[in-house]
Chains A and B, each alone.
Chain A
Amino acid sequence: MSLATTQSVAEIKARNKQLIDEVLKVYPEKTAKRRAKHLNVHEAGKSDCGVKSNLKSIPGVMTIRGCAYAGSKGVVWGPIKDMIHISHGPVGCGQYSWAARRNYYIGTTGIDTFVTMQFTSDFQEKDIVFGGDKKLAKIIDEIQELFPLNHGITIQSECPIGLIGDDIEAVSKVKSKEYDGKTIVPVRCEGFRGVSQSLGHHIANDAVRDWIFDKVNPEAKPAFESTPYDVAIIGDYNIGGDAWSSRILLEEMGLRVIAQWSGDGSLAELEATPKAKLNVLHCYRSMNYISRHMEEKFGIPWCEYNFFGPSKIAESLRKIASFFDDKIKEGAERVIAKYQPLMDAVIAKYRPRLEGKTVILFVGGLRPRHVIGAYEDLGMEVVGTGYEFGHNDDYQRTAQHYVKDGTLIYDDVTGYEFERFVEKIQPDLVGSGIKEKYVFQKMGVPFRQMHSWDYSGPYHGYDGFAIFARDMDMAINSPIWKKTKAPWKDAPRPSLMAAE
């Protein structure tokens, strides 16, 4: 059993406050002052988590964050499957992000779809000195020749592009004209812009607005007949098939999904989205911008939802249905009822094995809050959480709808802080990314990657919850964690003994 279950909320709060004070001691004074604003213990009833966010990471502290390029190419644009995304600049950015994010899609890769490929301009010194615009123009020609079925091209800027003054917009316009109005999207997502991936999401959203929406011919013949039940899934990247196990539920309740953003998405779906009657938004952080734009420009309402765990799924299906007529509302009830036996069976099997287990999270996007309900469905408790690149509106949502009194909150956590927190709190599970996974496993703490689902998934929807529950169980209850100490060494730490 974990510590948390044997302590009162007051004790936990005191311990967490003391923990924060302890970690701050390691920093030089100036850094300690800055970091203090990002760490807090949640007080029930407060409208946010009481931390500053979306500020620059501090040099040298080992932030977990990435960059704007990662937010645009890696997150928003990369999964659009029938377009070719050029990592424009030196070779590394495209190489390290090549196929690493598990954005599932259906297509003949290299012929009509291109997600798991790495297209790069592989900048050399001469491109830095003389500029890369001519090279870019030539690259577009070569793409057209060798990959004739591509539906469009995006140019994902790496750091040097903005520094050497290349005019990728001009190249895009010229080439688009040359290829009969072909969609060519320049994206100014240089890695030094902003403070994290987050600005890259925003820039990528704006690029959709400016270079896709604004170029769609409103007179063009519709590709399909609209129905009153047309919706678009916004902010699901189809990690391990998440968007598919979500889409099936929306369709089963009687809605028609006309677009997926952007997992398994296509240019045609992006272009058709303004025809949706409702945008359903999963990852608020990365795609609220385009949702707000569509609301303002096309009058399309949007609705946040959460498809992790049966409680939140049912709540979300009803919330989505509330935008439609009785047919859909009944559909939502039908879907919830249909999957109830599966959910009962999953919970009956796994909850007894997971009841009372504690979890510490540190992830990006929506997950620091969205997965809490799924853990609670399994009887588990999230005792600490934080956002890699969240903003204040994320922390508001977290405080108002998700976390419990006394939860430890850490924004843009540093490697040092995270390690100390886990060491002192001794949770039963840590959920974070690949850079963190092995650190905690070495410490003997069960871990699941909550970006890539540790190569499992989907975790969204009812079908996904069964996998989620199975995975958490196999992480926590793996027999290997009993073997981390050699039997001839001392028994487990005294702190754990006391808790038991």
Chain B
Amino acid sequence: MTQNAEHVLDHFELFRGPEYQQMLANKKTLFENPHDPAEVERIREWAKTPEYREKNFAREALTVNPAKACQPLGAVFVAVGFEGTLPFVHGSQGCVAYYRSHLSRHFKEPSSCVSSSMTEDAAVFGGLNNMIDGLANTYNMYKPKMIAVSTTCMAEVIGDDLNAFIKTAKEKGSVPAEYDVPFAHTPAFVGSHVTGYDNALKGILEHFWDGKAGTAPKLERKENGKINFIGGFDGYTVGNIREIKRIFELMGIEYTILADNSDVFDTPTDGEFRMYDGGTTLEDAANAIHAKATISMQQYCTEKTLPFIENHGHEVAAFNHPVGVSATDDFLMTLSRISGKPIAKALEQERGRLVDAMADSSAHIHGKKFAIYGDPDLCYGLASFLLELGAEPTHVLSTNGSKAWAEKMEALFASSPFGKNCHAYPGKDLWHMRSLLFTEPVDFLIGNTYGKYLERDTGTPLIRIGFPVFDRHHHHRYPVWGYQGGMNVLVKILDKIFDEIDKNTNVPAKTDYSFDIIR
């Protein structure tokens, strides 16, 4: 018997005992019809070869381990960033269970969202009744200030018309006529979660600025000198948005964060569950039309929203998830130029400290090769930071990256001597990345939690930066933007590098001459 009341064995120890090992071996040989171990080994080795890579890259139909999710996830992420807002996803209910679980697993926070629970009859007759009942129930039960509607692919395939449905629901008294129910069609078979972010944010701004679906006069823009800020879909939203607020305040700029979900994904444990917390007030969302300019931190999360805003007379500027010195410089200089306010002394000092830290540690990063995967903007931001550090972002892969993104990446590589042998892979998945790591190995891999399978199979150490991160806790609370954020990313990368050096130099009397106490 292996289990013990005094020292309870967990799954990772329990099943290694001889009784379980024997049992599992018997199960395999007698009942599983296993392949010959030599054949398994042969295929395992074959799957590492350039020949396999060629076949793998010739795939036209199959996707294996993609690094993207679907549109409504992004829509839900946006919706909870508005004060007292409940996301309402029109379509099958299982989808909503998935978004809520996914967000909760990353943020370790509640994630509130409702579904219109469409089933077979709605597939035949349309989901109008689900919208009518659903809005009424949500409004009465959860008392939201706003209900932001998006769609699952089911509702999109059958062609439900949100504008008409919401109008009818209001006529039937589900919610008051003047109650805010912005909406966005978010088909899962177009784009990814970053597209859903874009569509949902545009839907909400359109609602407030352009006459609430024909029920109110359009707003007249009267410039007030403020700056709107859009973070984009971001696993670090909690830390990042707080950092951005600090920067705005240091510079004395008046600002509006649009879709500010930094509080709702970081509520305290103090005896009270807050379904809603913080968020952009509805008044601020409407008044955002009067801003002087709007800044998007992630170009590919705002491809429709930003032109929409520009058409309302704003100056707009888009960044690509800026990380590090130069990207932050650009961001701050843009802020300064638009606002007419100088860059704060305190930020200048922070810049100096980041440069100082990079100088102190660059010897350990310089020349190291990295593979990066994730959302298109994040990939760009991380790659440009690595180039600043003298590292080579050899493989940069984005499942939801477009051809235009890849061109932009190639231009970035061309701008630096360290980008010489680097390539961008748009529309590829993590099974492609596996082949890349086997055939053109790198020193480190940067990606989300799913990268741990690549780490296991290829031995490339994984630095977890991205979304989702399920198996490490609380990193979303720390910014990766601003000079402070750059510092966090630097330390995260360095920690992994040093851990690896120690791991590779710790065999007594063999390798531990290099087990240095000072590095």
Contact = CB atoms under 8 A, between A and B. Distances in A.
Contact of A121 (B2, B61, B88, B157): B61
Nearest to A161: B157
Given A90-B153, A117-B64, A437-B104, A142 B192 contact: no
A415 B87 CA distance: 14
Contacts of B68: 91, 95
A63 B117 contact: yes
B119 A195 contact: yes
A160 to B, nearest CB: 5
Nearest to A468: B8
Nearest to B56: A146
Contacts of B138: 60-62
B43 interface: yes
A463 B6 contact: no
Contact of B101 (A61, A100, A158, A191): A100
Contacts of B270: 442, 444, 484-486
A415 B20 CA distance: 41
Interface string A130-156: 000001101100110110110100000
Given A66-B93, A244-B15, A224 B5 contact: no
Contacts of A60: 88, 114-117, 133-138, 141
Most buried by B among A120, A267, A339, A442: A442
Nearest to A456: B10
Contact of A66 (B97, B110, B152, B273): B97
B142 interface: yes
B391 to A, nearest CB: 28
A224 B28 CA distance: 12
Interface in B40-89: 40, 43-44, 47, 52, 55-56, 59-66, 68-73, 88
B122 interface: yes
Interface in B390-429: none
Nearest to A86: B62
Nearest to B130: A59
B188 interface: yes
A323 interface: no
B161 to A, nearest CB: 16
B27 interface: yes
Given A60-B137, A443-B272, A438 B108 contact: yes
B23 A244 contact: yes
B158 interface: yes
A65 B120 contact: no
B114 A149 contact: no
B271 A444 contact: yes
B477 interface: no
Contact of B119 (A30, A98, A193, A259): A193
B450 A98 contact: yes
A253 to B, nearest CB: 13
A26 interface: yes
Contacts of B131: 59
A122 B14 contact: no
Interface string B7-46: 0111100110001100110011011111100011001100
Given A106-B24, A435-B97, A414 B141 contact: yes
B112 interface: yes
Nearest to A89: B153
A91 B66 contact: yes
Given A27-B137, A125-B189, A110 B158 contact: no
A324 interface: no
Given A121-B62, A456-B11, A148 B43 contact: yes
Contacts of A463: 2-3, 9, 14
B31 A245 contact: no
B100 interface: yes
Interface in B94-139: 94-95, 97-102, 104-105, 108-120, 122-123, 130-131, 133-138
Interface of A: 26-28, 30-31, 56-70, 82, 89-93, 95-100, 104, 106, 108-112, 116-125, 127-128, 135-136, 138-139, 142-143, 145-146, 148-149, 151, 158-160, 162-164, 191-195, 197, 223-224, 240-241, 244-245, 247-248, 251, 257-260, 264, 266-269, 272, 338-339, 342, 345-346, 348-349, 414-416, 419, 433-435, 437-444, 456-458, 462-463, 466-467, 469-470, 484-486
8 smallest A-B Cβ distances: which pairs? A67-B94, A92-B70, A59-B134, A60-B134, A268-B33, A96-B98, A345-B5, A90-B188
Given A191-B95, A470-B8, 8 more contacts: A58-B137, A67-B92, A91-B188, A98-B450, A138-B62, A191-B92, A266-B32, A466-B8
17 contacts: A31-B137, A59-B134, A60-B133, A62-B141, A70-B94, A95-B70, A95-B102, A122-B66, A139-B62, A142-B59, A149-B35, A149-B43, A159-B152, A191-B95, A339-B1, A466-B8, A467-B9
